[in-house]
Amino acid sequence: MNLQLSGMAQGGEAFGRDENGRVVFVPYAIAGEQVRVEITETKKDYARARVVEIVTPSPARVAPRCVHFGACGGCQWQHIAYPAQLQFKTEIVREQFARVGKVMDAPVQPIIGMDEPWHYRNNVQFQLDDKGNLCFRALESHDLVPIRECHLLHPLLDELFHTLSFDAADFVEVMLRVGTRTAQKFIVLVGDDDVPPEIMVDEPVSIAYVTPRGEVMPLVGKDAVHEILRGRTFRISPNAFFQVNSVMAEKLIEIVERYLEPRPDDVLLDAFSGVGTFGLSLATRVARVIAIEESKDALNDAKANAVELTNIEFQRGKAEEVLPKLKTKIDLVVVDPPRAGIATPALDALIAQAPRVIAYVSCDPATLARDARRLIDGGYRLCEVQPVDMFPQTYHIESVSRFVHA
């Protein structure tokens, strides 16, 4: 069928409506294009299709930089000029607030983009095929795509990537991490055996092995990689979460600090604190920081990262279990939840605490909009939403939202 594409959806696909008014989602197409498509999946309320022919291309259509684009699922938007990517992402955040959160005029600012929207990732995860090739998954598939090049890798990571060689299916997964400011290189090998296979190393790199039970075994060099954000050094263990884009992670910290407007006598709650990216960065601006984190490894990293600070209290557990029991009066909150957003018991506990300001760092506009609705209904005013492009060439959208108690 011929299809006029009218917008870009959360998830990265372009969409239009067929002659019956049904929404049709089309990957690797662009809003404004007229395309000829073939339906690949039909549901009750929508369908998915693949492009057969681009009848009228968008002015924003560009030649993808990577030879794997279209087969590899890691990038979805290399065919879209970067200024248009930024515009689409801003529009998607606004649309999600309106559709999911019923916030019709959300104060969403234009997204902050990167000066150089390539070579930004400080970590990457590969699967291995039965020939020992490093692979990414295909788009919405478990199929493996052997990778010869990736233009999202930081130069240090790319250098490490090109030095590796594996025998067939030695490992289940290979994760590479670098400190872009420390030049440290780290390889994490995830296997299906309790005993690590033999390795040979002729590079200055640290290596750890992760068993099927999740046990981390340091093999070579250090047991963690270190990165520097705004002058503070962060230790990051193999199993700990850390933002993949160090340049824009600093931008997130700046926005959180500006939104919170911390005072010297404030108590700051850092929920989903990870290795301490936000709480430790703001610790000298407040009287006390309470950090909540579920991951044992990340919490141990955070404690190591806070060694010179005396005003940090760490609590291990799920936010929805720890927050309702918290007795301390909280003035400020920064939350950086996973893609699923904040569980209802945790959000209810935050609302009951009635902190002065909440800075919500989100990696998913849909769950952000859902949680925003709950906060607004609980007595908060949404003052500003600032999207930040942590993931150029992909549909993923990071943002920080400022909620002030009414």
Contact 401, 360 (CB under 8 A): yes
Active-site pick, 72, 135, 363, 383: 363
Question: Residue 169 has what pLDDT?
Answer: 64
For the chain, what percent of residues have pLDDT higher than 90? 89
- If you average pLDDT over residues 140-161, what whole number do you get? 95
What is the DSSP secondary structure assignment for residue 122, as one 8-state letter? S
Per-residue pLDDT for 48 more than 90?
yes
- If you average pLDDT over residues 391-401, what whole number do you get? 98
> Residue type at 152?
L
- If you average pLDDT over residues 180-186, what whole number do you get? 97
Per-residue pLDDT of 53-63, as tens digits, reads 999 999 999 99
CATH number of 97-115+228-405: 3.40.50.150
Per-residue pLDDT for 338 more than 90?
yes
pLDDT band at 401, cuts 50/70/90? Answer: very high
Least confident of 9-18, 26-35, 121-130, 188-197: 188-197
- Report residue 297 as tokens: 């490894």
Contact 248, 114 (CB under 8 A): yes
Per-residue pLDDT of 220-245, as tens digits, reads 999 999 999 999 999 999 989 999 99
Per-residue pLDDT of 273-298, as tens digits, reads 999 999 999 999 999 999 999 999 99
| Cα dihedral sign, 251-282-257-268 | positive
CA dist., res. 101 & res. 399, Å (int): 15
pLDDT band at 196, cuts 50/70/90? Answer: confident
Question: Residue 29 has what pLDDT?
Answer: 97
Per-residue pLDDT for 194 more than 90?
no
- Average pLDDT of the chain, as a whole number: 95
CATH number of 123-227: 2.40.50
Rg of the chain, C-alpha, whole Å: 22
- If you average pLDDT over residues 176-198, what whole number do you get? 92
- If you average pLDDT over residues 177-186, what whole number do you get? 97
Per-residue pLDDT of 94-138, as tens digits, reads 999 999 999 999 999 999 999 999 999 999 999 998 888 999 999
Question: Residue 350 has what pLDDT?
Answer: 96
Per-residue pLDDT for 167 more than 80?
no
Range(s) within the chain of domains with CATH label 3.40.50.150: 97-115+228-405
Question: Residue 107 has what pLDDT?
Answer: 98
Question: Residue 197 has what pLDDT?
Answer: 78
Per-residue pLDDT for 186 more than 90?
yes
| Superfamily for the 2-61 domain | Nucleic acid-binding proteins (2.40.50.140)
DSSP for 52-103 reads EEEEE--TTB---S-TTBTTBSS-S-TTB-HHHHHHHHHHHHHHHHHHTS--
Contact 190, 198 (CB under 8 A): no
Please say if 363 is a catalytic residue: yes
pLDDT band at 406, cuts 50/70/90? Answer: confident
